[in-house]
Chains A and B, each alone.
Chain A
Amino acid sequence: MWSMAFRNLYRDRRRTLATVIAVGAGLFAVLMFLGYIRFVESSLASVVIYRDANAHVQIYRQDGPEQLAAAPAEYSLNRDDQALIHRLVADQPRFVRASDQLVGVGVVQAGAESSVFLARGIDPAFEAALQAESPLASQASPLSDDGLLLTRQLQDLLGYPDKGSTLQLFSASYANRMNAIEAPLAGDFSTGIEAIEGKGLKAPLALLQSLYDTDVVSRVAVQLDDRSHAGTFRDWLAAELEQRAPGRFEVTTWNHPQIGQLYTSFMGFFNLVFAFTGIVVFTIALTTIQHTVAMNVADRTREIGTLRAMGFGRRRIAGLFLRESVLTTLAAAAAATMLAYTVIAAIAAAGVQTQLPRIAEPAILKLQLPPLWALTAIACAGLGIALGALVTARKRVGGEVRPGRRGVPLTRLLAGAACLLLAFGTVLPAGASETAPQPSAGQRAAPDAETLRRWLREADLARGGWGSYKWKLTIHTEDPAGATDTSYDIAVRDGRALAMTTAPRRYRGEKILIASRAMWYAKPGLRKPVSISPQQRLVGEAANGDIAATQYARDYNPEYLGVEELDGRPCHKLRLTAATDGATYESIIYYLDRNTRLGIKAEFLTSSGMTFKVAHFEYRNRVLVDGEEQPFVSSMKIVNANFPERFSLLEYARVSEASPPESLFTVDTLMTL
């Protein structure tokens, strides 16, 4: 029967050739695509493991991967943790090397320009060792012991400072104090993630630790001899650590969604595309084969009739057509495989450069098609096609060759599904956007803008926003990582303020100047003051902008929202919207006591309208203004709206009217004070 099938194919060699070409082209496409996917997969893996210095296995504090960005101090590994981890991994057979790493955010400044950074602190020696073993050609500058690497995008935001020029990094320390360091720009690197490429900064671990004023690290990264061992190593290490300190650690591998985000998200998408392409190609191949079978059957009704008359059953005759399809598919598979390997070799020889999805630097295109993968793909496709051919043959051989079909062809089914998906895509957002906000009704006659502004000004006055005063401020900050206390001497004059740290001793000499909406930070050791933009004032639980009083009347536009009771006190409720770039917050919901018109509560909102901080004010201080006793703010409690256990208590003491000299409030004299 096989030879008969073969001879039939030979007799109809033109049709056979056409079928082989059609099916072969499909299989070739699948193989090439598979090779490309494998290439992308291994490149992405190398990027995650080597270029981004994630290595193979990472050890965090429990929930560290998710929480580090929000609470770096709380989810860090202390000295004991670090020692334990290094001791455990060091004598494992798969172990190559391990290193501590730190992540953090802040602001980088070059001259007058500044921008937010997302930094990774890495041991330069560890990075150099990883780079040396990476299969990817690296274009990044090596990390030195004292320099900073910035992405080109970040350098662009900073106006392309010269190599070797001094950059200032400014951030909140892990103890939520303001801190700044200086370091030279040493070169470029790429984060490989477009979303954060504009913020990428790489620093030697020790340097970054000094910025955050800490000796903890975010994680320990462990390099193994091969990525295939990552899973078992992780399981082993997790069990060991769990035994020693239950619930304290979390061990991940390079393809953890939080670490190999680039890899996992893209491979997920890619696999989907591959599955879809595979199905489409498979359907085309299948339809071609089915069509060929149907044509063969139609052409050979007499032969079929003869065989049937001889007593050949449907199954046996269908088997003949199946054999023909299998032979055709095999020929197509052989041709496709040969062609695929030839083309892959040719591409490798040509050394084509390609841009990998979401990876900034180009890579040499080298398709990877291990024989086993190719074989599996071909076998799956072949089996499916053969099955389809058999079904068609049995149906067709069964008797009359009917023209009409009841079943929905797979192609039409797929097209239908695609249309449905598209329709969903367009319908859903449209449907969602139909829920328009309802107009707020029931407002009482609102005070006019003039009145509101006067109220704000009076409320600002009681918080030191205007006039000339001095006072002592202590800030008690609490969060799960620990509590800190800092004291300042504050002097204000007409909306400008100077804060000088008085305690703890270590931080004496730090100064914060707020003058006409600008803000500067200075400390001994910095060559010049760090300019702090309005957004950067949000650093720390008590925003730096909160250290000195704020002028809501100047920076925000008020809108009256009505009267609301707070703890039994009727209050005017106002929405303040930032009127200038100098405003610290996008918008504030502000409650003024209806009787005293003092601001007693403020809710600070993000640009998306979520409350992220809430402040409560008390006014137990009294100051004499023009001989008249006025209430003055005595405490401000700022609570993190998402983590109520994180709060800052600002207490104002020894408030008195004063007339600090004008020279106190200029940047030029800030360093000499």
Chain B
Amino acid sequence: MNLVELESVSKSYRLGEVEVTALDSVDFTVQHGDFVALTGPSGSGKTTMLNLIGCLDAADSGEIRVLGQPVSQLDGQALDTLRSRTYGIIFQNFNLVPVLTALENVMLPLHLHRLSKSGMERRARAALESVGLARFADFRPDQLSGGQRQRVAVARALVTEPKLILADEPTASLDTASALSLVELMKELNTEQQVTFVFSTHDQRLLEHVGRVVELRDGRLTSTDDSAADTSTALQTGKSEVA
């Protein structure tokens, strides 16, 4: 079954008198084990699309189905549950809670899962371990480097064992080395733990490591996205599609 399906989804924003079309009848599918990069120039609608996939925003028209379930039929509480059970989210600016330690930040999403305190901690430590930050568990965000913070954010997204991790420009605030190592980490998680990733970036160097690239331009998908492609062997090199 498809993890997420977008069927001719449109989204526009009103800015006073002007109406900006952020997404224009987009069809898109994510399957289990995908490692998808959304690319395109600034303002092309990448963030908008990720928000729609993550149910952080509602589409104007078209239909979005998560695990076959149309999200327009879900109420606020069901959406909250869906977010906490299905998604892990990584932000461009990490968005760690500044007053919490790395470990506590990673534990945060587990508060929505019925877990004992020790169970939460165990899983959080495991997640930190998997991003290579076990030693930094008790550091607060302002004591970590940018790359480390984003790894904490990855661990936080991972810790609930989500079906899909969405990341909006996860490397934009990082230097090249950190960015590359982050993508490598994500890739590793994808291949070893079959974590599905959809992330946006306009960093061309990163796209070389990505199995499936989808390009947006003015709210439209410019390339035919071979969504049916077998992406479990995602270690193809080079861009699969070029604009």
Residues of A within 8 A of B (CB): 1, 4, 7-8, 10-11, 302-303, 305-314, 316
A310 and B112 form a contact (CB under 8 A): yes
Q: Which residues of A contact B93 (CB under 8 A)?
A: 302
Q: In the complex, what residues of B have CB within 8 A of residue A303's CB?
A: 95, 97
Q: Is the CB of A4 within 8 A of B89?
A: no
- Of the candidates A1, A4, A309, A312, the one having the most CB atoms from chain B within 10 angstroms of its own CB is A309
Q: Bound complex: CA of A8 vs CA of B104, how far in Å?
A: 14
Residue in A closest to B104 when the chains form the complex, CB atoms: A4
- The answer to whether B226 has its CB under 8 Å from any CB of chain A is no
**Residues of the A chain whose Cβ atoms lie less than 8 Å from the Cβ of B104:** 4
Once the chains bind, are B99 and A310 in contact (CB under 8 Å)? no
- In the bound complex, residues from chain A placing their C-beta under 8 Å from that of B82 are 311
Among B56, B77, B97, B98, which residue has its beta carbon within 8 angstroms of that of A313?
Answer: B77
Contact mask for chain B residues 80-114; partner A; CB cutoff 8 A; 1 contact, 0 none: 11111101010101010111100010001101100
Contact between A311 and B109, CB atoms less than 8 A apart: yes
Cβ-closest 8 pairs across A and B: A311-B84, A311-B83, A7-B99, A306-B95, A313-B80, A310-B109, A309-B89, A311-B80
Q: Name B residues whose Cβ lies closer than 8 Å to a Cβ of A.
A: 54, 56, 76-77, 80-85, 87, 89, 91, 93, 95, 97-100, 104, 108-109, 111-112
- Listed by A's residue number, 27 A-B pairs whose Cβ atoms lie within 8 Å are A4-B100, A4-B104, A7-B100, A8-B99, A10-B99, A302-B93, A302-B95, A303-B97, A306-B91, A307-B108, A308-B56, A309-B54, A309-B83, A309-B87, A309-B91, A310-B108, A310-B109, A311-B82, A311-B83, A311-B85, A311-B87, A311-B109, A311-B112, A312-B84, A312-B112, A313-B76, A316-B111
Quote the shortest CB–CB distance from A202 to chain B (angstroms): 71
Chain A residue numbers with a CB within 8 Å of B89 are 306, 309-310
Q: Which residue of A lies closest to B113 (CB)?
A: A311
Q: Which residues of B contact A313 (CB under 8 A)?
A: 76-77, 80
A316 and B111 alpha carbons, distance in the complex (Å) = 10
Which of A1, A11, A308, A316 is B98 in contact with, Cβ under 8 Å?
A: A11
CB distance A312 to B80 under 8 Å? yes
Q: How far, in whole Å, are A302 and B81 apart by their CA atoms in the complex?
A: 20
Besides A309-B56, A309-B89, A313-B76, 10 more A-B contacts (Cβ < 8 Å) are A1-B111, A4-B97, A4-B100, A8-B99, A306-B89, A310-B89, A311-B84, A311-B87, A313-B80, A316-B111
Query: What chain B residues lie within 8 Å of A10 (beta carbons)?
Result: 99
- Chain B interface SS verdict (over half): helix
Q: How far, in Å, is B157 (CB) from chain A's closest CB? A: 9
In the complex, A173 Cα to B145 Cα: how many Å? Answer: 102
- Compute how far the CA of A316 lies from the CA of B80 in the bound complex, rounded to whole angstroms: 11
Q: B100 to chain A: closest CB distance in Å?
A: 6
**Nearest-CB distance from B71 to chain A (Å)?**
14
Min CB distance A11 to B, Å, is 5
Closest to B80 in A: A313
Distance to closest chain B CB from A287 (angstroms): 26
CA distance A151 to B97 in the complex (A): 74
Set of chain B residues within 8 Å of A8, measured between Cβ atoms: 99
**Chain A residue contacts of B111, Cβ below 8 A:** 1, 312, 316
Say whether A11 contacts B80, CB under 8 Å: no
Which residue on chain B has the smallest CB distance to residue A5? B99
Q: Please, how many angstroms separate the alpha-carbon atoms of A7 and B97 in the complex?
A: 11
CA distance A11 to B140 in the complex (A): 13
Least Cβ distance of B153 to chain A in Å? 9
B residues less than 8 Å from A314 (CB atoms): 76
**What distance in Å separates the Cβ of B98 from its nearest Cβ neighbour in chain A?**
7
Enumerate chain B residues within 8 angstroms of A1, measured Cβ to Cβ. 111
Q: Which residues of B contact A4 (CB under 8 A)?
A: 97, 99-100, 104
Q: Nearest chain A CB to B232's CB is how many angstroms away?
A: 28
The complex places the Cα of A313 from the Cα of B112 at a distance, in Å, of 9
When distances are taken between beta carbons in the complex, the residues of chain A under 8 Å from B56 are 308-309
A309 to B87, CA, bound (A): 9
- Which B residues are CB-close (under 8 A) to A305? 95
Chain B residue, CB-CB nearest to A303: B97
Q: How far is the CA of A312 from the CA of B89 in the complex (A)?
A: 13
In the complex formed, the residue of B with least CB distance to A309 is: B89
| Residue ID in chain A nearest B101 by CB atoms | A7
Query: What residues on B are CB-neighbors of A11 within 8 Å?
Result: 98-99
Most buried by B among A1, A302, A305, A306: A306
